[in-house]
Amino acid sequence: MSDDHSGWQPPQPPQSPETATGFLPPPAPPPGHLPPGMVPAWPPQPVAAQSGVPRWLVALVLAVLVLSYGATVFFTKDIWRAGEPRPVVQASLQIQQKPGTAPTPDALAQTRKVVESRLGHLGGHDVAVGLDGNTLKVTATDVTEAQLRGVTATGRLYIRPVIHAIAAQPDPTYPSPSPQTPQVADSQRIADEKALRQSTQPQIQVLALQFQATRCGRPDALADHDDPTLPLVTCSDDGKQVYLLDKSIISGDQIKDASARQGGQRGDYVVFVSFDDKAADVWSTFTAANTGARTAFTVDTQVVSAPALLEPITTGRTQIHGQFTADSAKSFAAVLAGGALPLPVSVQSVQADQIAPAFWSVPRIAVVGGGVVVIFAVILGVVLMTRWGPRHR
């Protein structure tokens, strides 16, 4: 028996053919895997619910939307009633020539522009103002004949402190005063009126007051020709008072805007005026230093209003109270807002008519448009509820 053990090795366990040839065993099945033919255990594992918008929330939003639209339709039912006919005016306005001058093309064009601006401030629509020589051809909707005649005033405004006032003594044989178109007087007549009614001498001022008291209501040759740097003797627009006024402190060129609405203690119409910054400072200083005094608002030389100053006015706004109707207040505000006419105009002819109101107004369009939006919102909500909403047993 040989003692050489160098080539001996212990016996090895038998190997499978796959291991012997280099193949690995298959991986273990994942947890929960069931071989074919086996029944899973009961109860099954819960499945997570699908995410989405709750149906009840979509239904609530749609209900609120539909009810809100229904309430809107109910409370705006008056907009479907037949509207009032709309006034339409067509007029010819004659541009007058100032004494001793010929109207320039620039002055004619500026006069046309001011008339158009005034009609716009009145709230007129489809405004058209054409210039044919010395004639303005005007067409406007939503403007009455009275308003149109009101905006033909020259509209030169001055604010003057009141020095003295007396009652007028009208001539009983002369007709009662009525709105007058500024008369084109000759240069000598205007110079004579200025010498009498705009004198700085107290004796002449007293005589001018007494003389003018007998002429209130007559056409004023000084209309639109008074010098704002001199005193002025003039009548009120109703012909009942005669005033001696100091020189102007604010002119119409310093007015930014004007509007008319009911705001008086008796429900009468008032014109609200806004000044530019410079005039606002002047008005604030003047009213603070002259509380209790009277101040006159003159337009084309006539006194429209002469209220007493009750307190300082520092807002840059003031009110003009006068014997205004709805039409005259709107016309007066439009005159102030549009500015003075470079050349005086007179009404040659006016043709007033009425047209049926347009069916599609802004409120009606808004209500119908809102209905279309609600319909699409309901359709979208139903789609959300049926397709993407969560399902619960």
pLDDT tens digits along 41-74: 555 555 544 556 677 777 888 888 888 888 888 8
310 and 348 share a domain?
no
Domain membership of residue 182 (yes or no) is no
Q: Is the pLDDT of residue 1 over 50?
A: no
Is position 176 within any domain?
no
Based on its alpha-carbon atoms, the radius of gyration of the chain, rounded to whole angstroms, reads: 44
Mean pLDDT of 7-35: 56
Q: Where are the alpha helices (DSSP H) in 256-339?
A: 277-289, 326-338
Check residue 190 and give left, alpha or beta (phi > 0: left; psi -120 to 50: alpha): alpha
Residues 238 and 371 both lie in one domain: no
Amino acid identity, position 69: Y
193 and 258 part of one domain: yes
Per-residue tokens: 251: 């002119």
For CA atoms 243, 246, 247, 249, the dihedral sign is negative
Q: What is the pLDDT of residue 384?
A: 75
- pLDDT category of residue 294 using cuts at 50, 70 and 90: very high
Return the higher-pLDDT residue of 354 and 204. Answer: 204
Position 290 scores a pLDDT of 93
CB 155 within 8 A of CB 338: yes
Q: Are 196 and 314 in the same domain?
A: yes
Q: Does the residue 334 lie in any domain?
A: no
Residue 129 within a domain: yes
236 within 8 A of 302, measured Cβ to Cβ: yes
Q: 193 and 316 in one domain?
A: yes
**Unique residue bearing structure tokens 């007033």:** 352
For residue 109, the model assigns a pLDDT of 92
Give the pTM: 0.67
Whether the CB-CB separation of 164 and 243 falls below 8 Å is answered with yes
Question: How many folded domains does the chain comprise?
Answer: 3
What gap in Å lies between CA 239 and CA 217, rounded to an integer? Answer: 5
- 46 in a domain, yes or no? no
CA separation for the pair 120, 392 (Å, rounded)? 64
Are 351 and 379 part of one and the same domain?
Answer: no
108 lies in the same domain as 250: no
pLDDT of residue 393: 43
CB 166 within 8 A of CB 197: no
In a domain, 18, yes or no: no
List, in sequence order, every residue forming a beta bridge with 273; answer none if it has no partner.
258, 318
Lowest mean pLDDT among 128-142, 325-339, 371-385: 371-385
**Is the omega angle on the peptide bond into residue 43 within 30 degrees of 0, that is, cis?**
yes
Do 379 and 257 fall within a single domain? no
Tell me if 364 sits within 8 A of 358, measured CB to CB: no
Please report which helix (H) or strand (E) contains residue 376, including its range.
Answer: helix 362-383
Q: At how many degrees (to 10) do helices 105-121 and 326-338 cross?
A: 140
Q: Do 351 and 313 share a structural domain?
A: no
Most confident of 29-33, 80-84, 214-218, 248-252: 248-252
Query: Does 251 lie in the same domain as 103?
Result: no
Instruction: Indicate the range of 96-100, 195-199, 242-246 predicted with least confidence.
Output: 96-100
Higher pLDDT, 369 or 289: 289
- Same structural domain for residues 250 and 296? yes
Taking residues 164-172, report their average pLDDT: 83
- The stretch 300-317 carries a mean pLDDT of 91
Q: How far apart are CA 366 and CA 254, in angstroms?
A: 39
Query: Domain of 245?
Result: 155-171+187-326
Q: Determine the Cα–Cα distance for residues 189 and 194; give it in Å rounded to an integer.
A: 9
Q: What does the block give as tokens for 132?
A: 């044919």
> Do 146 and 245 fall into the same domain?
no
Q: Looking at residue 125, what is its pLDDT?
A: 86
Determine the 3-state secondary structure of 217 from DSSP: coil
44 domain residue, yes or no:
no
**Packing angle, helices 55-75 and 362-383, rounded to 10:** 160
- The answer to whether residue 307 scores a pLDDT higher than 80 is yes
pLDDT (mean) for 340-366: 83
Residue 251 belongs to domain with CATH number: 3.30.1360.200
Is 47 domain-assigned?
no
